[in-house]
Amino acid sequence: MVPPEGAEKYAFEAEVHRMMDIVVNSLYQNKDVFLRELISNASDALDKFRYLALTEPDTYKGEEEIPLQVKIQYDADEHTLTIRDTGVGMTHDEMVENLGTVARSGTTKFIQSLKESGNDDSAMSQIGQFGVGFYSTFLVADRVTVASKNPRDDAQHVWESENASSSFVVYPDPRGNTLGRGTEITLHLKEDSLEYADPNRLRELAQHYSEFVMHPISLRTTSTMEVEIEDEEEEATPETTEEAKETKGDDGDDEIEVGDDESETEEKPKKTKEVTTHSWDVLNTNQAIWTREKEDISDDEYQAFWQVLAHEATSNATSWSHFNAEGNINFKSILYLPDDLPPTYSYTNMEPVQGALRLYVRKVLIGDEFNLLPKYLGFIRGVVDSDDLPLNVNRETLQESKILSVIKKKLVRKAIEMIRQLAKDSEDEGQSEAEIDEEGNVIETEEKDSRYIAFYRKFSPNIKLGVVEDEPNRGKLMKLLRFQTSKSDGKMISLAAYFDNMKEWQEEIYILGGASAEEIEKSPFLETFRDKDVEVIYLTDSIDEYMLRQVRDHEKKKFVQISSESVKFKDEDEDLIKRREKAYKNTFKPLTKWLRKLYTGSILRVQVARRSLGSVPAIVTSSDFGNSANMERILRAQAFQHGMDQSSFLALKVFELNPRHPLVKKLLDGCPPEEEGDEPFEVAPDILDAAWMLHDMAMLNGGFPISDPEAHNQRL
């Protein structure tokens, strides 16, 4: 770089030069951020001018006529990129001081002066507090030229430096005052950074990082098109009028020369010329509505902003929460519940949707990969914006991880509250209003899901995963669960509604799992509960049983599988049950002993049922410490899918006999005695077949598969 005549050369201090090397080569992991930094600096300069124009009107009189804006211009042929603002600009000394010192930001010094003078800096939403953002330009540029004009300085000055240089120069701009006011930064792009002279790339980056910056950001675009031009009319001449006259043929007759088609005239090709036009396209037309009071924002505006975040012009959000968080750290946020699963969302890992929750500092995007919400809430979209968020110098990671932790806790609480509010608001929805015909009769209409149930059907796995993983918020999440039950007529109800239906003597929450509600309805386990008019919750989702095994109870009421061996009813006479159980145990001891030996390998224990089995001769239940039939089914499927050994997932099965059933009494009469004599007892073939028939029937009644279907069919 050859300094112009009269240029003043300045050397970077030794530590500053080393710092610049760190900034350029180590600090920023993503080159794209240079544009964000320059736009942020430009926005700061515009805010600074607006403030000074109000507080020092005499100094800046007449300057307000220049509009506050940021303009981006590129030259693909010259490999340059220019960012210009109409902010406060810099004087000669300010250029030397601010651009010649890394980590000495003019913004920081300006805010410090406001504090010392007692002025409130809350209105000064400026992001550049570390003074290194400008040097990110050397990530993409070999040389950087800065022209700036401050109203307090008569002349416009230029600052210039090259990448890896230990010095810079400052000199009066030989062009004179071309800016009027503000700063113009020109980057002479490196060979590997020519993509930043492409309008599509610039548009993409500016809209990604700075779409909500308050001041308009315009991109100068160039387009070339072919335009038709009209020929000048040819003047008629005597020669042209004679050409169409008669001509004489070979036979002497007069002939007229006629073309192939008299009616057609030969069309001449139209002439065109290439015209190049330039225009300024505003890139940030969207408003940062989170900065406004929520009372002033309509539902349509919230939905329109949702479509901006989701990049879906036709979808709507189910609900949203707009709030200001105050405390150790202040921030504003809008969170949205989507109407449907995002296209890229997967229940396999429940990874947050890319860009779902964006972190802004004073309306400038810092990032969207901070994982501000746990996995189970990864479907929520929204924005978080803080005016006082501490950032490190590259603005890509936060200085203090504790700050992120505080924000995350508040966001989780607000997200859960938003879902709870949706459930509360839609309690009465889904119930179709009665329609009356002309004769006054009620027209039956199909009931529709409430807004919450429609949401829950799509996102219930997320809530259930939250119940498992988020122990501090487990109680709140449990209240969001909904289940079908044996008395809900196919509707989904809350645990609170289940509690309202509990019997006075009931101390436990009864549950039963299965592949579907229709399958569970057929279970023999429900007979006794129907007889007692006791409600049972249906677990039809593969995560349901796993979730409730982790939870075990809710509001001090234990979850009990009605397919387990330990089901008891507090309304029954316990002494009577024990006496009857003892009598049955002695009476049926020979049968239980023989069947336990016969069923070795598939049954852990054989016993007389403590509960009433109604019309069922026997049933297989699960041990209190084993898997239920439904859980075994799920684990088998998962093991098969991953090629794992399925034997470790087998449930510990208990075979329970109905002492009042004729088939059981017949088996008792035909089984070996408790104490066999010297001669081995021969069991009749029909008794043996009946025993195996009873085994298979009990397995099926309990929801378990039978091990030998072919033998079962032969016995049938």
Binding positions are 37, 41, 85, 90, 98, 105-106, 129-134, 183, 395
Containing 512, the helix (H) or strand (E) segment is: strand 508-513
How far is the CA of 245 from the CAs of 240, 258, 265, in angstroms?
A: 10, 10, 17
For residues 458 and 341, the answer to whether their CB atoms sit within 8 Å is: yes
Going by C-alpha positions, the residue among 490, 513, 514, 510 that lies closest to residue 499 is 510
- Whole-angstrom distance, CA of residue 613 vs CA of residue 565: 12
Q: How far apart are CA 521 and CA 485, in angstroms?
A: 10
Q: 384 pairs with which residues across the strands?
A: 333, 359
Find, among 202, 361, 366, the residue nearest to 284 by Cα.
202
Rounded to whole angstroms, the Cα distance separating 119 from 126 reads: 15
CB burial of 353-367 (b: ≥16 within 10 Å; e: otherwise) equals beebbbbbbbbbbbb
The owner of tokens 């112009």 is 4
Per the structure block, which two tokens stand in for 25? 């080569």
Distances (CA, A) of 102 to 14, 19, 387: 11, 7, 23
Inter-residue contact 206 to 35 (CB < 8 Å): yes
Give the rounded distance of the alpha carbon of 168 from its chain centre.
46
The residues facing 275 across adjacent strands are 225
H or E, element range at 562: none
Query: Token digits for 652?
Result: 């510990």
Place of tokens 């736009």: 39
639: left (phi over 0), alpha (psi -120 to 50) or beta: alpha
The count of other CB atoms within 10 Å of the CB of residue 297 is 17
- 394, two tokens: 């590259």
| 170: its two tokens | 């400052």
Separation between Cα atoms, residue 158 and residue 173, nearest integer Å = 6
Report how far Cα 202 is from the mean position of its chain's Cα atoms: 26
| CB count in 10 Å sphere of residue 386 | 20
Taking the C-alpha atoms of residue 393 and residue 519, their distance in angstroms, rounded to an integer, is: 60
d(CA 669, CA 498): 45
The binding site for ATP comprises 37, 41, 85, 90, 98, 105-106, 129-134, 183, 395
Measured distance CA(607)–CA(593) in Å, rounded: 9
Do residues 70 and 37 make contact, with C-beta atoms less than 8 angstroms apart?
Answer: no
DSSP 449: -
Helices (H), 261-392: 299-310
Q: Could you tell me the two tokens for 460?
A: 């219930």
Strands 182-189 and 80-85 turn out to be antiparallel
